[in-house]
Amino acid sequence: MLSTKPLFSWPRHRAERRPAPFLPMSRAEMDRLGWDACDIVLVTGDAYVDHPSFGMAIIGRLLEAQGFRVGIIAQPDWQSAEPFKALGRPRVFFGVTGGNMDSMVNRYTADRRLRHDDAYTAGGEGGKRPDRCTLVYAQRCREAFKDVPIILGGIEASLRRIAHYDYWSDKVRRSVLADAKADLLLYGNAERAVVEVAHRLAAGEAPRDLDDIRGVALFRRVPETTTELHADDLDAADEGARQVRGDVVIRLPSCEQVEQDKEAYARASRVLHRESNPGNARPLVQRHGDRDLWLNPPPVPLTTEEMDAVYGLPYARAPHPAYGDAKIPAWDMIKFSVTIMRGCFGGCTFCSITEHEGRVIQSRSEGSILQEIERIRDRTPGFTGVISDIGGPTANMYRMACKDPNIEASCRKPSCVFPDICPNLNTSHDDLIRLYRKVREVKGVKKVMVASGVRYDLAVTSPDYIQELVSHHVGGYLKIAPEHTERGPLDKMMKPGIGAYDRFKEMFDAAAKKAGKQYFLIPYFIAAHPGTTDEDMMNLALWLKKNRYRADQVQTFLPSPMATATAMYHSGVNPLRGVRRGASERVAAITGLRQRRLHKAFLRYHDPDNWPLLREALKEMGRSDLIGSRPDQLVPAHQPPGTGKAAGTKRPVRPGAAGGKTQRFTTKGVRFR
């Protein structure tokens, strides 16, 4: 087991212990607190909501608990450096984050179209943060106070910590640390790293001296005493995996290599994901021009006691008063929900959770969770007795872990559940069932919903869990994510076959019948994922029609930075298998606009506006037999007047089939937290 300094064992930086009602956002608030200056100023792309679902609130309150005076600059005007001077010069450092979402994902759709709203902004207003705001904010901080250290963190920095493919510019970009000209980058859940960085900088150390902290990326030289394993040699088969004694660093293909050589990009992605287990990961180094970018191994996961302490900090559990009565959609969505765990060992290649939070599940205690529910009941205006969600990245991985800590520490597999559930994984849902029952017993709680996605291949191992879920925690519909029906794309996603979904649906329906309920599953699917053929999408559409599903909205695959599926999309190579010059497995990437539209149209086979495109494609595929009015055919041969490409306008959603038995659902394929 990894040993590390306990999170709350550092001596306090200041003796004062009275927490601020809200972390100050103005000089007037600092004056009321009696502060002449802030030790740390956190700059965020989100509105400031003092709640543990918002990253800056967690980091801010944690640093406050360490004895630092912490201020917040939320969504500043980035056109000049002046707004970044609002709280004065911080004594220790600027902390910069894009917010709870990558700013490019927040601002653009999978079709690169501009979004006009922002759930993390007061009033839901779009345009309150710049593109790649971590980079922009850091540069403005440097202009404001050029001698103050700048520390990057949050999901935007975490997913851009090495040279990465940027979907929106369609090119490989340098590490955000290089472009932002910051001093350090903290990746993953950074509580341990940020606390140590703060204390050591406050004690007089320079940022370049903090090269021994886990979860830190910085530019530094490789020590002469360190052995380099060259994963940048694509003619070698070991990919830098060789085990040697002493201090070791793995050299990734350089930024310049991955810019010019897509196979080198796939190799870098494969090695980075292999070296992601805190128990055995080794440092990585990647050349950027004439400098080496050094990534230390991932942070040690928080213990249950540390998780409890983090979620028990004195959050105001509300937006800052500066926003007045303005609605912040993200806050409205989560204010009655409870996070019970972090991390995900699923390893889905299109998802960013594992890259950011890691695959080791970090769970809170029952007592901590019950106390938070009581705080919601007692302190959150508008609470009617309904907990809107109890979960996390997934609904049902609470307290799941490898049966043997030694095996867990040495494992390099990217997923614990693909291609099958690992026999070393404890899949018991007993702790979660017990938690559900205790939460329902809290005075004033009428209903507890499960809105987080249920990992159905785990759920089928526990019929008692499915019965508990259906009997008490579903409100008409339950979200589920098979993502596809065909083995080709599912293998590239690292998702189970559709048979696991079928088993779950059978058990779900039986549990609903036993409980006397009429509930429905809402399946999510992805269009245009790497490795998906036109025939795969056609077969998925036929499955949807056979099962009477109609998707009102669909999601096309969005290549997020650093995801394994993004490496497939950009390189055309499968990094789940060995990457070697001339011997790599090729993957078809759906990059053309027409093909991406076609795959999306297959998911909306029932929309007459899509019928001309589908008829044309089916004829090209030699499947004209699927054009007609029979139940086993996909699209009609005749086009209703006013529909299709000539219509020029979007038609309203058509009602369901006769008898109202056709289900309509919303599907989304990419999740960012």
Q: Which residues neighbour 244 within 8 Å (Cβ) at sequence distance 6 or greater?
A: 227, 229
Quote the CA–CA distance of 455 and 668 in Å, as a whole number: 15
Known binding residue 411? Answer is no
Q: Which residues neighbour 223 within 8 Å (Cβ) at sequence distance 6 or greater?
A: 247
Tell me, letter by letter, the H, E, C secondary structure of 590-612: CCCHHHHHHHHHHHCCCCHHHHH
- Per-residue b or e along 346-355, where b marks 16 or more CB atoms closer than 10 Å to that residue's CB: bbbbbbbbbb
Tokens of 598: 């076609």
- Per-residue b or e along 24-49, where b marks 16 or more CB atoms closer than 10 Å to that residue's CB: bbeeebbeebebeebbbbbbbbbbbb
The DSSP secondary-structure symbol of 11 reads P
Known binding residue 416? Answer is no
Dihedral in degrees, nearest 10, Cα atoms 317, 323, 324, 325: -80
Quote the CA–CA distance of 395 and 463 in Å, as a whole number: 15
Cβ 108 vs Cβ 558: under 8 Å: no
Closest by Cα among 517, 414, 399, 406 to 462: 399
Quote the CA–CA distance of 44 and 48 in Å, as a whole number: 8
Indicate the helix (H) or strand (E) that contains 228: strand 227-230
Known binding residue 351? Answer is yes
Tokens of 228: 């380099």
Supply the DSSP string of 377-410, one letter for each residue.
Answer: HHHSTT--SEE-EEESSSSS-TT--BS-HHHHHH
Cβ 446 vs Cβ 386: under 8 Å: yes
Closest by Cα among 280, 367, 368 to 52: 368
CB-CB neighbours of 156 under 10 Å: 28
Strands, sheet with 284-288, edge to edge from the N-terminal-most edge strand: 70-74, 40-44, 93-97, 150-152, 184-186, 216-219, 291-295, 284-288, 248-251, 227-230
Identify residue 140 by its one-letter amino acid code: R
First and final C-alpha spacing in the chain: 28
Tokens of 641: 């007047």
Burial (CB count within 10 angstroms: exposed 0-12, middle 13-18, buried 19+), residue 197: buried
The DSSP secondary-structure symbol of 453 reads P
The annotation places the binding site for [4Fe-4S] cluster at: 344, 348, 351
The annotation places the binding site at: 344, 348, 351
